Amino acid sequence: MTTWPQGHQSVPAVACFPVALSDGVIAVDWEKEGKPGEVWPEELSENLHVRELFALDAWDDEQLREFVFKYGWFCKPEWRSLPACFTHGGGLLDQLRPEVREGLPRSFSREGGQLGPLQPRLAAIDALIGGVQAARHLRQQIMWKSTRAYRGFIHVEEMRVHVEFLRNAVRVWQALSNESPVADVVDVWEGELGLPQLLASGWEVNRAALVYLRETLNAGLAEFRVRVELRDDELRTRDEPEVTTYEALALQLFNDVAAGRIYRRCANEKCGKLFLAVPMREKYGSGEFHGEKYCSVECSKAQAAREYRRRKKAERAATEDS
């Protein structure tokens, strides 16, 4: 797998808004918090796509709202950050052999309706979104557009789909980078889109995983182009692309693929969370620092204390026996 451009790419800050949750909708809400027009940039932590994203309970609406408030506007409407070859089905592409479909130029799938209709789950979510849009007041819609928050709300169901796509992509890269069986990813796959679609069409699992990772990342990275940006808000222009959290996390995953980074499981026996290994040998002179074995300093200390108590207990038992 080749990445371009090569080297680590800086992940931009993401726009955050005061948001409220109501009837499955996470919407900009300046009456609850903040002031009209308020928006602030949020710099994302390097581990966000493997730690906080996986700690998120995607079926808890309040956790989704909190995630959007803390880490930024999560996704764009109309599924534009997701690979169209997975979000649509039933068209000409589904009738082609995998090796033929893989070699087609991207423009082929977007012209002439070859993609077919949206997948049923996504079409149902679009219907919910349409109902919400129709119920929103025109004045609020104009105000939302002025914030660059797209339609001014995210439906929890569309956010769940985006979370699934990105977490599945992380799982695929974890298997590929660790040289572990890609087939194991199938057992923990979230949702019915992506790899299950390719496998149902007769793709071999390893090849299907590579194609899924490529298509998902390329779709999520479409907004990033070689360009010069000015971080001063007064000098920014309205035509500069607005990046969502989903796209920023896709770029984080892209950097991991480009650098061949390996994900690890926290060695704290009561944690076991996935985290990005951070070599600290050069700075601390030892590979035992939490960055290579543990996901946090707290987990490192907790496990050390646990093992210390076990040793003391074993020593006491040995003394009593003697």
Q: What is the pLDDT of residues 6-58, one digit of tens each?
A: 788 889 899 898 999 999 999 988 776 667 778 888 999 988 999 999 999 99
The yes-or-no verdict on residue 110 having pLDDT over 80 is no
Q: What is the pTM of this model?
A: 0.81
pLDDT at 140: 55
Residue type, 196: P
pLDDT at 125: 97
Instruction: Report d(CA 15, CA 2) in Å as an integer.
Output: 30
The yes-or-no verdict on residue 282 having pLDDT over 50 is no
- Specify whether the CB–CB gap between 186 and 180 falls below 8 A: no
The yes-or-no verdict on residue 105 having pLDDT over 80 is no
Q: What percent of the chain has pLDDT over 90?
A: 40
Q: Mean per-residue pLDDT for 295-301?
A: 85
Short-list 199, 197, 291, 214, CA closest to 254: 214
Place 111 in a pLDDT band, splitting at 50, 70 and 90. Answer: very low
Backbone angle region of 112, left / alpha / beta, with phi > 0 → left and psi within -120 to 50 → alpha: left
Q: Domain extents for the chain?
A: 14-261, 274-321
The yes-or-no verdict on residue 320 having pLDDT over 80 is no
Instruction: Report d(CA 51, CA 284) in Å as an integer.
Output: 23
Of 191-200, 260-269, 277-286, 301-310, give the lowest mean pLDDT range.
277-286
H or E segment at 209? helix 205-220
The yes-or-no verdict on residue 286 having pLDDT over 50 is no
pLDDT at 314: 85
Q: What percent of the chain has pLDDT over 70?
A: 77
pLDDT at 1: 72
- Specify whether the CB–CB gap between 222 and 81 falls below 8 A: yes
Q: Which residues contact 6 (CB under 8 A, 6 or more apart)?
A: 258
pLDDT at 116: 74
Q: At what angle do helices 156-178 and 245-259 cross, to 10 degrees?
A: 0
- Specify whether the CB–CB gap between 297 and 290 falls below 8 A: yes
pLDDT at 113: 47
H or E segment at 274? strand 274-276
The yes-or-no verdict on residue 81 having pLDDT over 70 is yes
The yes-or-no verdict on residue 147 having pLDDT over 80 is no
